[in-house]
Structure 1
Amino acid sequence: MSESTKVSSAWTDVLVIGAGVTGIYQLYLAREAGFSARLIEAGTGVGGTWYWNRYPEARFDSESYTYGYLFSKELWEEWEWSEKFAGQPEIERYFNHVVDRFDLRRDIRLGVKVTEAVYDEPSGTWTVRGSDGTEFRARYVVAATGNLSVPFIPAIPGREDFRGEQHHTSRWPKTPVDFSGKRVAQIGTGSSGVQIVPAIADDVARLTVYQKQADWLTPLNNGPITPQEQAELKANYESIRDTLNTSPSGFLHQITMRSGLDDTPEQRQEFYETRWNGPGFTKLSEHYWDMLTNETVNTEWCAFMADKIRGIVKDPETAEKLIPKGHGYGGRRPPFGTGYYEAYNKPNVSLVDINETPITRITEDGIETTEGVEEFDIIIWATGYDFGTGALNRLGVRGRQGLPLKEYWAEGPRTYLGIAAAGFPNFFFPGGPHGATGNNPRYAGDQVELVTDALVHARDHGHDVVEAAAGAEEEWTEQMNSSTQSSFLESSYFYGANIPGKPVKQLLNPTGRWALLETVAAVRQNEYATFTFSKAMEKDDA
């Protein structure tokens, strides 16, 4: 074995996997609680999703100031977001600022992809191995690997034969892709795809967009944060923090506390116009309280949006393809964009419905459909992710008696509070499956705080092994899978339906953030009785 490939072994109390918004917060809290802690990350920079997704016009669709950290007033006051919905370069700068501002970088090791994480029962510790030969031993492992970290590319024949460039949105190169004068194909029209189309439409010679499923896209309505708004944000830190820490959606938005049917048809049309012109997720979170459940209101709102699409897109045939069929608003994750529909009015942009005109194969020079071959220089794969369990199932996690997590979850995830699984002591995964629904950093932050508090509780009571009780896991998982509160269809990626062969199971927490917070409060009040605490059989000699 050469000097460069020798295994180096390191001990830490808490080993965090993943340097995204959740992992960075976990590293910070673990250190603040007095644990030795390290973080390892597969990428060569911090930011998680916002490190990997650097495609043109990648940006938040949650308001910037609601996505960032709330644990430090000084951080809140010194960092100024330039836009209501910041773009990827600014987001990446933010996470680097946080890491340096709180001296976290010294405990972060980049470029380490985890290949195996194995639990040792006698010592109650984990051994985690990386692709570079690195080996860590840790009392606790927190896999903050995120829901949107494993790209999915459909198995279309011939993809490896294509001689041009190919890029998935979540593995975009750091060197800018030159689109000028190129013939470009984009496969997929989800949240990433709708951002790219208008960003490159003016540069390419030709852009052909292959759509499998139209979604109810509404305007992001982005804009700069004015000096007056900056001052108001700084002055209201405490109230904003308190609202975001308790809001069911994790936003500053206020739901409209009346039924749509309380208004006249004319009043509803005025209300829909206000929602259409509002920022981001307010189309959901400030709508009529019964918009998702009242078929009359949902159908009318969808008809309003369909008319908007027909009014923007000049070609009637293209407009009809862009109008979703078979699901109302909230049935799938709604995307938000700027100039997406308008892009189809450009003579060099066209739309192909692959349900009507299926792709048969990728050729050396382009894409073949049932109507023939079109030649391309670049293919963009905007085809989404293996959501929820994808990253966790690829870590090589083995718990008690060598049980693989992937095998344990073969029929879908089994979790307690979306942070732990029975049979996998001292292993936690905040921000993974069964967390909540809404602004991800807010509910993932709730989970990080619970994990940290549980570890402190164990230390204070002389324990070093923490595990979700089997009964608590069974009850929570059943609650997730049986809840009828979710508006999302089982055909959405929130159930894993986009991945061939993946069990169609609930990957979110349909009961919502308030229910999660209520349960977490009860867990703390009851001294973590839904977890088991014990002492390792063998004294650790690390």
Structure 2
Amino acid sequence: MSNAERDAVDAIVVGAGFAGLYMLHRLRQQGLSARIVEAGGGVGGTWYWNRYPGARCDIPSLEYSYQFSDELQQDWEWSERYATQPEILAYANHVAERFDLLPHIRFHTRVTAAVYDEAARTWDVTLWERSPDRDSEAESTITTRYLVMATGCLSVPNVPDIEGLDPDAPNVHHTGRWPREGVDFTGKRVGVIGAGSSAIQSIPLIAEQAESVTVFQRTPNYSVPARNRPLDPGEVAAVKARYREYRAENWQRGFGADFRDSDRSAFDVDDDARQREYEDRWARGGLAFLAAFNDLPFDDAANATAQDFIRGKIHEAVDDPALADKLCPTTPVGCKRLCVDTGYYETFNRDHVRLVDLKEEPIERITPAAVETSAGSYPVDCLVLATGFDAMTGAVTRIDIRGVGGRSLADKWQHGPRAYLGLATAGFPNLFLITGPGSPSVLSNMLPSIEQHVAWISDCIEYLESRQIAAIEASPAAEDAWVDHVNEVADLSIYPKCNSWYLGSNVEGKTRVFMPYLGVPPYVEKCREVVANGYEGFELTS
């Protein structure tokens, strides 16, 4: 290990996903020296790492894309309604090349620590670089005025604490760290731990290859059909003809996406009309099911009508009524992220696919050749961990970030994350968070939310530069008030009413706190008001 000479840039961006790429582009447009530090070997963020079978976006392609460049959104051609991981990764690479970003990205490099120098008002960032062949490693330090965390909301795999589990074993694969060369399950007995989105997307395709598939389910999840299809050229042309207006309309929608939001309560219509609306949404497919009625996210009785409908569909899809019961969730629809699938429930009609209900027989240990539960042993040749992520905060708190007075961010957030607007956290000057806790992020269309945050941060830095302001940080009072507001809004909804990664409940030992903000339009308006009022709620130091 060598210690390289200290370098200095105006801004360090951590992560080369969609947030990091656009942040780098904006900073370079402002004439600032900026660099991305990326642990992986390429751009794409979550779409670089998540290569499991069936991985694709659950937001339509024409919406899950950048809008900052009209030429880009007009030129790029998506092939399907919901883009696959390879197509999204190709798009990310195209963006990086189109805007000449690659020379400013340092791949195979992790940020291990960042310490704020109060006298110099800069950050000293420690980097750990590993060669692509893993033959050499080097530590270095770089100094920067602005530190931007573009680390993603779903980027740190959650590995369950199970006796005997070796996540690095050659036959164990986490969906969030899938081998680039893929995995051949032909003739294999495959065990899948988990029943969330990555499991629901991958299991039907794994079942097409494997000799047998055993799904170890702790909690069932609601899933609606994707109804994926090739994009019709006429449909694409119609959107592109008014792309700017279409994007503007989506900014006024609750989730920031075209879910055909209803302005009616589930009880404004009779039972037959409600059933027809659900059937129509089911036939069309996608997350727009959640917007069938405006009170589904807020009213338990209204939500129950959607629950009953989906449970009925599960029973229609699964031949064995007892098995269908085990696949039926009992929680509100949407309090866990609604999944989108192609043939998931029907896969359980295959003779070589079985479900193990971990509430009835929990896993006790894992051996090199089996998963052992309290009721028996299930032989496996390969084990897939579809166990999700340490969402929203995991990638940030794993870095030793120390702000004013040497305080650790991990210590500050040990009882739950605290941030102002999801953009900054008190005591950590010139540290910016993209789609951090307290912003709509995962309860919105991520690409526009990313762009909104990047634009806000970029404009803020330009404001500081033009006025020779050395530092900006959230005030403790503004942060406390915003955290309280986030919780007040959440408590009006169904979202905190089940254990989900929105609250960190999937990670053992993580404090249960609702992290995203519910409602894109009021959030965007609040961000605008803060700026219009001279960065209200922030402390600026010359």
Structure 1, 71-80 or 247-256: larger mean CA deviation: 247-256
Q: What pairs up with 1:174-253 in 2 under 5 angstroms?
A: 174-253=180-259
Q: Quick one: distance in 1 between partners of 2:521 and 2:322?
A: 43
Query: Given that residues 365 and 377 in structure 1 are in contact (C-alpha distance below 8 angstroms), is that contact kept between their aligned partners in structure 2?
Result: yes
Of 134, 144, 151, 1:138 maps to: 144
Query: Given that residues 164 and 365 in structure 1 are in contact (C-alpha distance below 8 angstroms), is that contact kept between their aligned partners in structure 2?
Result: no
Deviations along 1:494-537, whole A, 9 cap, x unmatched? Answer: 11111111111121113x222211211111111113212213xx
Query: Given that residues 224 and 287 in structure 2 are in contact (C-alpha distance below 8 angstroms), is that contact kept between their aligned partners in structure 1?
Result: no
1:490: Cα distance to partner?
Answer: 4.8
Q: Quick one: distance in 1 between partners of 2:167 and 2:485?
A: 46
2:533 is matched by which residue type in structure 1? Answer: N
| Corresponding residue for residue 494 of structure 1 | 502
2:324 is matched by which residue type in structure 1? Answer: A
**SS of 2:326 mapped into structure 1:** helix
| Corresponding residue for residue 400 of structure 2 | 396
Of 106, 121, 125, 2:122 maps to: 125
| Alignment partner of 1:477 is 2:474 | no
Query: Given that residues 185 and 206 in structure 2 are in contact (C-alpha distance below 8 angstroms), is that contact kept between their aligned partners in structure 1?
Result: yes
| Alignment partner of 1:528 is 2:535 | yes
Query: Given that residues 42 and 111 in structure 1 are in contact (C-alpha distance below 8 angstroms), is that contact kept between their aligned partners in structure 2?
Result: yes
1:8: Cα distance to partner?
Answer: 4.0
Q: Quick one: distance in 2 between partners of 1:160 and 1:297?
A: 44
Of 289, 292, 296, 2:301 maps to: 296
**Structure 2 residue ranges without an equivalent (≥5):** 130-138
**SS of 1:140 mapped into structure 2:** strand
Q: Quick one: distance in 1 between partners of 2:493 and 2:434?
A: 20
| Alignment partner of 1:262 is 2:259 | no
TM-score, length basis structure 2: 0.95
1:161: Cα distance to partner?
Answer: 9.7
Deviations along 1:180-213, whole A, 9 cap, x unmatched? Answer: 0000000001011100110111110000000111
1:303 is matched by which residue type in structure 2? Answer: D
Query: Given that residues 217 and 355 in structure 2 are in contact (C-alpha distance below 8 angstroms), is that contact kept between their aligned partners in structure 1?
Result: yes
1:163: Cα distance to partner?
Answer: 6.5
**SS of 2:259 mapped into structure 1:** coil
1:252: Cα distance to partner?
Answer: 2.0
1:514 is matched by which residue type in structure 2? Answer: P
Query: Given that residues 194 and 215 in structure 2 are in contact (C-alpha distance below 8 angstroms), is that contact kept between their aligned partners in structure 1?
Result: yes
Deviations along 1:238-270, whole A, 9 cap, x unmatched? Answer: 112222344331212321111222222111111
Q: What pairs up with 1:274-353 in 2 under 5 angstroms?
A: 274-285=280-291, 287-325=292-330, 327-353=331-357
CA 161–79 in structure 1, closer or farther in 2 if over 3 Å, else same: closer
TM-score, length basis structure 1: 0.95
Of 6, 15, 19, 2:16 maps to: 19
| Corresponding residue for residue 135 of structure 2 | none
Q: Quick one: distance in 1 between partners of 2:272 and 2:297?
A: 20
Query: Given that residues 143 and 429 in structure 1 are in contact (C-alpha distance below 8 angstroms), is that contact kept between their aligned partners in structure 2?
Result: yes
1:307: Cα distance to partner?
Answer: 1.4
Deviations along 1:87-134, whole A, 9 cap, x unmatched? Answer: 000000000000111111111111111111111011100111111213
Q: What pairs up with 1:137-176 in 2 under 5 angstroms?
A: 137-160=143-166, 165-176=171-182
1:445: Cα distance to partner?
Answer: 2.1
1:237: Cα distance to partner?
Answer: 1.6
Structure 1, 165-174 or 446-455: larger mean CA deviation: 446-455
Query: Given that residues 162 and 363 in structure 1 are in contact (C-alpha distance below 8 angstroms), is that contact kept between their aligned partners in structure 2?
Result: no
Q: Quick one: distance in 1 between partners of 2:276 and 2:84?
A: 31
Structure 1, 259-268 or 97-106: larger mean CA deviation: 259-268
1:291: Cα distance to partner?
Answer: 2.3
Total equivalences in the alignment: 529
Deviations along 1:204-235, whole A, 9 cap, x unmatched? Answer: 00000001111111101111111112212221
CA 258–57 in structure 1, closer or farther in 2 if over 3 Å, else same: same
Q: Quick one: distance in 2 between partners of 1:213 and 1:161?
A: 22
Q: What pairs up with 1:3-14 in 2 under 5 angstroms?
A: 5-14=2-11
| Corresponding residue for residue 433 of structure 2 | 429
**SS of 2:20 mapped into structure 1:** helix
**SS of 1:331 mapped into structure 2:** coil
Deviations along 1:148-207, whole A, 9 cap, x unmatched? Answer: 011011110011399760010000000110100000000001011100110111110000
Of 463, 467, 471, 1:461 maps to: 467
Query: RMSD across aligned C-alpha pairs, in angstroms?
Result: 1.5
Q: Quick one: distance in 2 between partners of 1:421 and 1:212?
A: 35
1:181 is matched by which residue type in structure 2? Answer: G
Q: Quick one: distance in 2 between partners of 1:294 and 1:85?
A: 30
Q: Quick one: distance in 1 between partners of 2:483 and 2:523?
A: 13
Deviations along 1:131-154, whole A, 9 cap, x unmatched? Answer: 121322110000111110110111
Query: Given that residues 163 and 365 in structure 1 are in contact (C-alpha distance below 8 angstroms), is that contact kept between their aligned partners in structure 2?
Result: no
Deviations along 1:456-484, whole A, 9 cap, x unmatched? Answer: 11111111211112211111112223332
1:369: Cα distance to partner?
Answer: 0.8
Deviations along 1:311-337, whole A, 9 cap, x unmatched? Answer: 111111111110112x12122111110
Q: Quick one: distance in 2 between partners of 1:534 and 1:473?
A: 18
**SS of 1:159 mapped into structure 2:** coil
CA 110–161 in structure 1, closer or farther in 2 if over 3 Å, else same: closer
Query: Given that residues 190 and 383 in structure 1 are in contact (C-alpha distance below 8 angstroms), is that contact kept between their aligned partners in structure 2?
Result: yes
Deviations along 1:416-444, whole A, 9 cap, x unmatched? Answer: 11010111001011112111121122223
CA 289–375 in structure 1, closer or farther in 2 if over 3 Å, else same: same
Of 416, 420, 424, 1:420 maps to: 424
Give me the identity figure in percent.
Answer: 40
**Structure 1 residue ranges without an equivalent (≥5):** 536-542
Deviations along 1:25-66, whole A, 9 cap, x unmatched? Answer: 111111222222111110001110110000001000011121
| Corresponding residue for residue 59 of structure 1 | 56
1:495 is matched by which residue type in structure 2? Answer: L
Of 446, 449, 458, 2:455 maps to: 449
CA 279–50 in structure 1, closer or farther in 2 if over 3 Å, else same: same
2:382 is matched by which residue type in structure 1? Answer: I
**SS of 2:209 mapped into structure 1:** coil
